[in-house]
Amino acid sequence: MNQYRYTTANCLFISHIKNTYERYYLANDDDLISTQEHIDRASAVSVYERSITNIIKGFEIPAALPWHLVDDVYIPVNCGGQFHWVLAVVELKNRLIRVYDSSLGSRKKAIQHEIKMLSKMLPSYLMDSGFFEKTERTSFVDCDEYKDNNSGSLLEAQAPFMVEFAQDIMKQKSDSLDCGLYVATFAKYLSDQIETSLVDFLPEYLRKRYGTLLWSYGSEKAKGAYVSENDDPPKPKSVVTQPPEEDLVHVV
């Protein structure tokens, strides 16, 4: 139980956070809409909230651990619907979101809007998911970071997570679009507990390596007729037809 443990959330997690944030913080026309529209909006946002709490409980991402059993959560975040991606690492014991942004050396340092939304909404959904009631690995309710400095009681859900930028990390070139590759590499090295500042970043090698791993993973899934559960719409299963023996090329 003392071994370092982490889990992941896919980019849909931030999409769910965005949808709930907009409902609670940006819906300025609530006084102008009908009762039925209120009901429709509440029904829509409840779907996103259920997905968020299920992810925290470890239900919706294959092979994931529930958050109360891990130290960190790795979340890929797209910034403003543009080409740039960062890695947000939720350090649960520190009540902190650490942002790994490979382009900080080439642009102004500012907390991305998506990270601000995550820091505001996350405390509410940790409470809603029963996160603080689970104490078999860590009693988060007893961690000082979750306590009010004055009263010593559990912080209210309105208190956002702290946000920090990771320092002394690998940086991409200003004319590069390698941010997604950096996100994958950050997650890989952090999960292996390797200091990212000590890594020689080799983009071409890593593209080939990750591409090969994904191709191998997809091939194994196809052979086993395995379909993972996710939030994507159902897709028809591909049928692979084995070619005749005489059409195969045997490499010696």
pTM for this entry? 0.80
pLDDT at 248: 44
pLDDT at 252: 40
67 near 56, Cβ under 8 Å?
Answer: yes
pLDDT at 214: 86
pLDDT at 229: 46
Q: Which of 154, 162, 159 is nearest to 132 (CA)?
A: 154
Q: What is the pLDDT of residues 116-167, one digit of tens each?
A: 999 999 999 999 999 999 999 999 999 999 999 999 999 999 999 999 999 8
Residues of the chain below pLDDT 70: 1, 27-33, 61-63, 105-108, 198, 226-252
pLDDT at 196: 79
Which letter, b or e, does each residue of 46-81 get, where b requires 16 or more Cβ atoms within 10 Å of its Cβ?
eebbebbbebbbbebbeebebbbebbbbbbbbbbee
pLDDT at 135: 92
17 near 117, Cβ under 8 Å?
Answer: yes
- CB neighbour list of residue 207: distance below 8 Å, 6 or more residues apart: 181
pLDDT at 43: 85
Distance of CA 35 to the CA centre of its chain: 35
pLDDT at 171: 83
Token reading at 164: 């920090």
pLDDT at 222: 80
pLDDT at 31: 60
Q: DSSP string spanning 195-223? A: -GGG----HHHHHHHHHHHHHHHHHHHHH
Q: How many CB atoms lie within 10 A of CB 95?
A: 22
